Amino acid sequence: MTIERKIREHLHKEAETMECPSAISKRIEQSYSQYLQRKRSEITMKKRLIGGIVAAAILIPTAVFAAPSLIEMLTRTPMTTEQVKVDEVGKATLEKLYSAFPETKSFEIIDASHLGGDPTNSTKMKAIQISIVLQEKGGTGKKIRLDTNGITGEIEHVNQENWEPKEKPIISLTDQEIKAKVDYLIDKMYGNIDKYEFSMEQMENPNQKTFMLNYTEKGSKTPFYQVFVQGNTISVSLIGGGPTSSVEGFFSTNGKPDYTADSFLNDEKLFSLLKISPTELKLELAKGKSVVEIAASKNVSKQQVIDVIANTQAEGQIQAEQNGEIPKNNHSKEQMKKALEPKVLQVIEHKTETPW
């Protein structure tokens, strides 16, 4: 057994014996629940939400959350400064930072690593995430950490430390001033936030004051940006939640929700084709109609419905193959769509409360 494995198992064992504060447990449950709801339509959300939870774990001085973050550190592979600067994702991340905060050009990279894949070897799978930590030389110890998705190139997390004077850390500012600092960081790294609704609350952390700020698009239940502020640190996670456009349990069996068809029917292009909202579609199906019958009432043919759903499913498979989440089968998109048609047909001809 390697020393890394021994340490990992020890940390897991220790974490299991620690009691997690109920309020924080509830937060984690809510985040995980939101993740599960979005999993079907947007697989890349997984890393973002898990990353958000990890970001919270780093900030909250609770041993039970510190253990998972330590475990994650053991699974990361270090990168040199030279490797970061020649890596496509690393280079783009630095350029983004330098453009947003020109002063960071003089910062030094004090730590860098990748999770999964190998960005230094083009013949191997891309890294899931690349992390870079830069620190001001001398001065007040300004530090910034960036976690970038190795596949999409999106900066998923920004952790900004010690950018306020020690004698007046960010947590000592008024709520309005804290929000202004967070707004500025998001605006510089991601762009204008005017379209987002905002909420701020203090978490029940007996050890140190911690605020959670959510920036949510109108109509969405999931924040687009989730921010934790503690001490002299601001941690922004790009969650990416958009307006809710899906429902669960389109059909029912024995009076209970049946989730069999949800991944096929939660399709924006299908809703657009039928000119119907997901909630309205569920209500129509609950009346005993099939999707085909609903489509016919709107002068939409069965084949049009099949084409739209099969196309979305095929694109999802191709994306998953490119992300390395499923093995490649070397089938063309058209071949995939053809193979999917019987499954799609079964779903769109199905009626609630009838056997599959």
Query: How do residues 128-168 score in pLDDT, each as one tens digit?
Result: 789 999 999 877 789 999 999 887 788 989 999 999 998 99
Q: Is pLDDT above 70 for 123?
A: no
What interhelical angle do 63-75 and 45-59 show, nearest 10?
A: 130
Token pair for 70: 């330590």
Q: Is pLDDT above 90 for 100?
A: yes
Q: Is pLDDT above 80 for 14?
A: no
**Which of the two residues, 245 and 330, has the higher pLDDT score?**
330
What pLDDT, on the 0 to 100 scale, is given for residue 338?
93
Pairing verdict, β 129-135 and 251-253: unpaired
What pLDDT, on the 0 to 100 scale, is given for residue 342?
94
Q: Is pLDDT above 70 for 245?
A: no
Residue 68, CA distances (Å) to 50, 54, 80, 262 in order: 11, 8, 24, 32
What pLDDT, on the 0 to 100 scale, is given for residue 40?
39
- pLDDT mean across residues, the chain: 79
**Which of the two residues, 291 and 249, has the higher pLDDT score?**
291
What pLDDT, on the 0 to 100 scale, is given for residue 52?
47
Query: How do residues 44-78 score in pLDDT, each as one tens digit?
Result: 444 444 444 444 444 443 333 333 344 444 467 89
CA quadruple 121, 122, 123, 127: dihedral, nearest 10: 70
Poorest-pLDDT segment among 48-62, 179-193, 322-336: 48-62
What pLDDT, on the 0 to 100 scale, is given for residue 57?
44
Of 190, 184, 264, 259, nearest in space to 223 by CA: 190
For residue 169, the number of C-alpha atoms closer than 13 Å in the C-beta half-sphere is 16
Query: How do residues 246-267 score in pLDDT, each as one tens digit?
Result: 678 899 988 888 888 998 999 8
Q: Is pLDDT above 70 for 209?
A: yes
Token pair for 68: 């998972």
Beta strands (DSSP E) in the chain are 77-78, 108-115, 129-135, 143-149, 155-161, 196-202, 210-217, 225-230, 233-238, 251-253, 256-258
Q: Is pLDDT above 90 for 223?
A: no
Of 298, 251, 252, 242, nearest in space to 271 by CA: 298
What pLDDT, on the 0 to 100 scale, is given for residue 125?
62
Please list, in sequence order, all residues whose beta carbon lies within 8 angstroms of the beta carbon of residue 188, skipping any fewer than 6 positions away: 100, 101
Q: Is pLDDT above 60 for 17?
A: no
Q: Is pLDDT above 60 for 349?
A: yes
Please list, in sequence order, all residues whose beta carbon lies within 8 angstroms of the beta carbon of residue 249, skipping any fewer than 6 positions away: 257, 258, 259, 262, 282
For the segment 70-98, the average pLDDT, to the nearest whole number, is 82
What pLDDT, on the 0 to 100 scale, is given for residue 248?
81
